[in-house]
Amino acid sequence: MMNKKNIKLLKPSVFFILIFSIGVSCKKKGCMDPNASNYDPDAKKEAPCEYTDFDKSEMLTNICDNYIIPSYANFNTQTSLLKDKVTAFNNSPNTNSFVELKNQWQETLLAWQEVSFIDFGPAEYILLKNQVNLYPIDTALISTNINSGGNYNLESATNYDAKGLQALDYLLHQPLLNDQQHVDYFTNSSNAASYLNDITNDLTVNSQYIVNEWHSYQTNFKNGEETNAQGSPVSNLVNGLCSYYETYIRKGKIGLPLGVFNGFSQQEMPELVECYFQQQSLPSAIRAMESLKKYISGISYSTSQDGLGLDDYIAFTGATQNGSSLSVVINNQIDLIIDNLQQLNDPLSSEIMSNKPAVNECYSKMQQLVPYMKVDMTSALGVLITYQDNDGD
Query: Does 18 score more than 70 pLDDT?
Result: no
**Percent of the chain clearing pLDDT 70 (strictly above):** 90
Query: Does 106 score more than 80 pLDDT?
Result: yes
Q: What is the pLDDT of residue 391?
A: 60
**Percent of the chain clearing pLDDT 90 (strictly above):** 83
Is the Cβ–Cβ distance between 136 and 272 less than 8 Å?
Answer: yes
Q: What is the pLDDT of residue 11?
A: 52
Report residue 276's pLDDT band, with 50, 70 and 90 as the boundaries: very high
Q: What is the pLDDT of residue 9?
A: 46
Query: Does 123 score more than 80 pLDDT?
Result: yes
Short-list 299, 339, 374, 249, CA closest to 59: 299
Q: What is the pLDDT of residue 388?
A: 81
Q: Which long-range contacts (CB under 8 A, 24 or more apart) does 51-58 make?
A: 54/312, 54/313, 54/316, 54/317, 55/308, 56/226, 56/233, 56/234, 56/313, 57/222, 57/223, 58/308
User: For 126-148, what is each residue's pLDDT tens digit?
Assistant: 999 999 999 999 999 999 999 99
Amino acid code (one letter) for 62: N
Average confidence (pLDDT) over 233-257: 97
User: For 19-68, what is each residue's pLDDT tens digit?
Assistant: 444 454 567 888 776 656 677 888 887 877 665 789 999 999 999 999 99
Query: Does 264 score more than 80 pLDDT?
Result: yes
Instruction: Say which residue, 23 or 372, is predicted with more confidence.
Output: 372
Q: What is the pLDDT of residue 7?
A: 44
User: For 313-337, what is each residue's pLDDT tens digit?
Assistant: 999 999 999 999 999 999 999 999 9
Query: Does 306 score more than 70 pLDDT?
Result: yes
CA atoms within 13 A on the CB side of 218: 19
Q: What is the pLDDT of residue 121?
A: 97
Query: Does 10 score more than 90 pLDDT?
Result: no
Is the Cβ–Cβ distance between 301 and 66 less than 8 Å?
Answer: yes
Average confidence (pLDDT) over 2-20: 48
Which of 34-43, 240-249, 349-358 comes out lowest in average pLDDT? Answer: 34-43
Average confidence (pLDDT) over 351-373: 98
The contacts of residue 226 (CB under 8 Å, 6+ apart) are 56
Is the Cβ–Cβ distance between 169 and 199 less than 8 Å?
Answer: no
Short-list 258, 274, 275, CA closest to 266: 258
Ordered by where they begin, the domains of the chain are: 61-224 (1.20.1420.20), 227-393 (1.20.1420.20)
Residue ranges of E strands in the chain: 29-30, 45-46, 320-321, 324-325
Question: What average pLDDT does the chain have?
Answer: 92
